[in-house]
Amino acid sequence: MKKMIIMGSLVLLLAAGCSKSNDNTNTYSSSDNTSTPVDTSTTTPPVTPPPVVKVTPPAPTAGYTQALKTYGTNRIAFDEYCTAKPNAVVFKSGTKVMIDNRSNDQRKITVGTIALNVKPFDFQIVTIPTVKAITTITGDCADLQNVVTITVNK
């Protein structure tokens, strides 16, 4: 009888050991007594960057169209790369010049000592300073310096 109680206890202990689980991370098997890890982590889907949206220039307004007619060749246009067109010009002292931002970004444009903040696809008018002798001034766009050279005649 003692042998049966010991055998019964042994069977119960073995049965309890075979079905033991530890926080759902390991599984035990009575056949090989090795543990197999179970991955309970979640995977994060890859992050897709938003598409690049390029703004199309708005249709010219009556004010912009009129400014093009009024200032004609007295115009310096800055494109999306801050390239000035034309990049070398000659104006007389006191000439009014159209500074034309043709980019999607607001630009800080400097003509000599005159600093402007020009909105995207907008323009501002500057007056070339009065000089006593032929003078050369430069213009900057954003972080780029000397992108335009302006020769000023008296």
pLDDT at 46: 72
- Number of neighbouring beta carbons within 10 Å of residue 152: 21
* pLDDT tens digits, one per residue of 84-125: 999 999 999 999 999 999 999 999 999 999 999 999 999 999
The pLDDT of residue 33 is 53
Q: What are the Cα distances from residue 28, in Å, to 14, 17, 21, 22, 128? A: 12, 8, 7, 9, 87
Residues 102, 114: Cα–Cα separation, whole Å: 19
Please provide the CATH number assigned to the domain covering 62-153: 2.60.40.420
What tokens appear for 87 in the block?
Answer: 């990049």
Q: Is the pLDDT of residue 39 over 70?
A: no
SS3 33: coil
What tokens does 111 get?
């003509």
Q: Is the separation of the CB atoms in 82 and 141 below 8 Å? A: yes
Taking residues 68-76, report their average pLDDT. 95
Q: Within the chain, which residue ranges are assigned CATH 2.60.40.420?
A: 62-153
Instruction: Look at residue 106 in the predicted model and tell me its pLDDT.
Output: 96
Q: Report the Cα 64 to chain-centroid distance in Å.
A: 28
